[in-house]
Amino acid sequence: MAKLQHGLFYEEARDYICARKKQFMIKITLPDGSVRTYEAGVTALQIATDISAGLARVAVSAEVNGEVWDLTRPIYTDATVKILKFEDDGGKSTFWHSTAHLMAEAIEYYYPGAKFWVGPPVENGFYYDVDLGGVKLTAEDLVKLEEKMKELAAQDNPYIRTEMPKAEAVAYFTEKGDEYKLDLLQGLNDGEITFYTQGKFTDLCRGPHIPSTGLIKAIKLTNIAGAYWKGDERNKQLTRIYGISFPKQQQLDEYLKMLEEARQRDHRTLGRELEIFTFDDDVGPGLPLWLPKGAAIIEKLEALAKRTEKEQGYVRVKTPHIARESMYLRSGHLPYYAESMFPPMELDGNKYYLKAMNCPHHHKIFSAVQRSYRDLPLRLAEYGTCYRYEQSGELFGLMRVRSLQMNDAHIYCTKSQFEEEFMKVNELYVRYFKIFGIEKYVMRFSKHDPKKLGQKYINNPELWQETEEMVRRVLIKSNLPFKEVADEAAFYGPKIDIQIWSAIGREFTIATNQVDFAQAERFDLYFTNEHNEKERPIIIHRAPLSTHERFIGFLLEHYAGKFPVWLAPEQVAVLPISDKYLAYGRQVRDTLVKNGIDATLDERPEKIGRKIRDTEVRKVPYMLIVGEKEQEQGTVAVRRQGQGDQGVKPLNEFVEQVLYEIREYK
């Protein structure tokens, strides 16, 4: 560690400067708007302790002027500071990143000479890519590492940040013979290099980290995989070890339980078993084919959307799946978005692209007819299928696909109509959440970053402020749970990403609701206002039911494949006790079908027990058992999925009940 001592030069120099500045105090602004005064060099941990001992205990890192920092890093200037707990996004990633270092320490303990590439936090946990010099890890090895990590965590070693001159850093890893870190160093500049040390492990790392290992109370190493260095298969294959950690054992237990439930509810497995969708090599990856039962669910979702949208004054349109290059040059999707689009087709000297979004086509429909203020708001809806290019490694079941059937609509309105329209869209979301039993959801309000105007965001600061203010007002007024996130808006306006949680507590980002004050200009869209002047409409992009692909993927997990009656592709299965009652069974089935109920008849010459078991596998909401008594009395013996025997009912009463459930989205 001798070499590291030199690194202190910078810190010493800063302490010296700091000591001179101590006469100056700094202002710390907290999230509630309150301002506290501290001596320069104060740490977020000290601030947290000032706020409450309880907060200091659960604090893992801090947001300082929008950047996530170590709790123990000195603050020398005025700053806004938010203490992050594990529950915060920035908190989780710090926690998991620190656990990755802890794992590295355990690996170095058992496998001295192991060389480390990168070890980032991911959506659920972390991983580290390691060169173990040919050693193959087994499940037992993971347990061994896990135990060592727990032991090291209990030592409560602090994570120590050290600034490091580039030459020193290079010398350190050259002596260590670590070509991976030397490769990383090549891309870094002098003055921005830091090392982190906890216990006996030191790593080149940008940070931030939690104060000490003692916060890590529960650890699970979940998986071992191979990973080519830099993702390039011509390079050496490294060992990737995945894990997750929590500040409480209970959280890990819940997570593992959720994982097990999610495994049982895996939409890919359920999709195959229930014959919802399939993939085919001749069609291509990421392009699901919807089997009859999947298409039936699609039809029902579309019927819901069409009904509610019609009630709310939407009109439907239908547009081609392709357009010329000029369309996307006009919209600005080309060249910036080209990577996410399918490559063009060359035709008659023109380039044609598969559409990756429906908006440009809808704008063309807006402008195809002369519009006046009387025609607004104009709400154009379409279940348009879009095509987006995702790398094949990114594709995942229905969740990451290349063909997307979107519950899309674009609302063209005047500025004075905007708030009401935006509000109605939010209400539509909540109405859908209720129908699907989605109890937990958050509106993630993504705003622009004033520093990136003209680059990442269209350069119109007044309009940004105005529309973001309008969006905020609507969110507050509609009393929806929301959080604000800076620097995540769309190019052309603020947006709301809707995060929902499935029945087993898994999070999905399902839909967006976007404000657009730029496309009207680009497409020269206008209406004639009351004063007979041309005026640009504001556009709302919205897709509450997301894409069929993602939403049905979510629903498969959410319902564990047991769709509610209204949405089930097969709502009622009629099972005659024996062939003698086939004719009556047929009569029952036909009555149901005539009433618009999706009913089937099991005509196989099988025993009733077998029929029931086979129907259960298909997760059909209702089974009707019919035999002698039922035939004589015109009744049906009802079995409800998950609830068992419901007794014998007259057929017409049962029909009424099912129709009621369908109507009420039960």
Instruction: Give the residues lining the site for its own copies (CB under 8 A).
Output: 275, 278, 280-284, 287-292, 294-296, 298-299, 306, 315-324, 326-327, 330, 342-348, 350, 352, 354, 360-361, 364-365, 368-369, 374, 380, 382, 385, 387, 389, 392, 403, 405, 604
Taking the complex as a whole, how short is the minimal distance between the CB of residue 335 and its own copies, in angstroms? Answer: 16
Is 207 or 561 the residue whose CB approaches its own copies more closely? 561
CA pair distance 604, 188, nearest whole angstrom: 71
Taking the complex as a whole, how short is the minimal distance between the CB of residue 375 and its own copies, in angstroms? Answer: 11
Taking the complex as a whole, how short is the minimal distance between the CB of residue 562 and its own copies, in angstroms? Answer: 21
Question: Helix (H, G, I), strand (E, B), or coil: what is residue 122?
Answer: strand
Taking the complex as a whole, how short is the minimal distance between the CB of residue 378 and its own copies, in angstroms? Answer: 9
Neighbours of 623 (CB within 10 A): 22
Taking the complex as a whole, how short is the minimal distance between the CB of residue 287 and its own copies, in angstroms? Answer: 4
Task: Compute the C-alpha angle 238/240/241, nearest 5°.
Answer: 145
Neighbouring-strand partners of residue 363: none
Is 199 or 360 the residue whose CB approaches its own copies more closely? 360
Contact 497, 509 (CB under 8 A): yes
Residue type, 267: H
Taking the complex as a whole, how short is the minimal distance between the CB of residue 387 and its own copies, in angstroms? Answer: 7
H/E stretch holding 601 reads: strand 599-601
Q: What is the dihedral of CA 507, 509, 515, 518, to 10 degrees?
A: 140
CA pair distance 544, 577, nearest whole angstrom: 44
Taking the complex as a whole, how short is the minimal distance between the CB of residue 625 and its own copies, in angstroms? Answer: 21
Is 324 or 456 the residue whose CB approaches its own copies more closely? 324
Taking the complex as a whole, how short is the minimal distance between the CB of residue 329 and its own copies, in angstroms? Answer: 9
Task: Compute the C-alpha angle 8/9/13, nearest 5°.
Answer: 115
Is 37 or 326 the residue whose CB approaches its own copies more closely? 326
Burial of 213 from C-beta contacts in 10 A (0-12 / 13-18 / 19+): buried
Taking the complex as a whole, how short is the minimal distance between the CB of residue 285 and its own copies, in angstroms? Answer: 8
CA pair distance 504, 559, nearest whole angstrom: 9
Taking the complex as a whole, how short is the minimal distance between the CB of residue 337 and its own copies, in angstroms? Answer: 16
Taking the complex as a whole, how short is the minimal distance between the CB of residue 345 and its own copies, in angstroms? Answer: 5
Question: Measuring CA to CA, which residue among 630, 640, 625 is closest to residue 571?
Answer: 640
Is 253 or 664 the residue whose CB approaches its own copies more closely? 664
Is 264 or 350 the residue whose CB approaches its own copies more closely? 350
Taking the complex as a whole, how short is the minimal distance between the CB of residue 352 and its own copies, in angstroms? Answer: 6
Task: Compute the C-alpha angle 422/427/433, nearest 5°.
Answer: 135
DSSP state of 281: T
CA pair distance 367, 365, nearest whole angstrom: 5
Is 314 or 457 the residue whose CB approaches its own copies more closely? 314
- Per-residue burial over 520-541, b = 16 or more CB atoms within 10 Å of its CB, e = otherwise: beebebbbeeeeeeebbbbbbb
CA atoms within 13 A on the CB side of 662: 21
Tokens of 436: 């699907």
Is 151 or 280 the residue whose CB approaches its own copies more closely? 280
CA pair distance 100, 147, nearest whole angstrom: 14
Taking the complex as a whole, how short is the minimal distance between the CB of residue 357 and its own copies, in angstroms? Answer: 14
Within its chain, how far is the Cα of 503 from the centroid?
16
Is 284 or 642 the residue whose CB approaches its own copies more closely? 284
Is 322 or 648 the residue whose CB approaches its own copies more closely? 322
Is 138 or 370 the residue whose CB approaches its own copies more closely? 370
CA pair distance 412, 359, nearest whole angstrom: 11
Contact 545, 407 (CB under 8 A): yes
Is 353 or 581 the residue whose CB approaches its own copies more closely? 353
CA pair distance 75, 41, nearest whole angstrom: 5
Q: E-assigned strands of 361-452?
A: 378-382, 385-387, 403-405, 408-413, 441-446
Length of the chain: 666
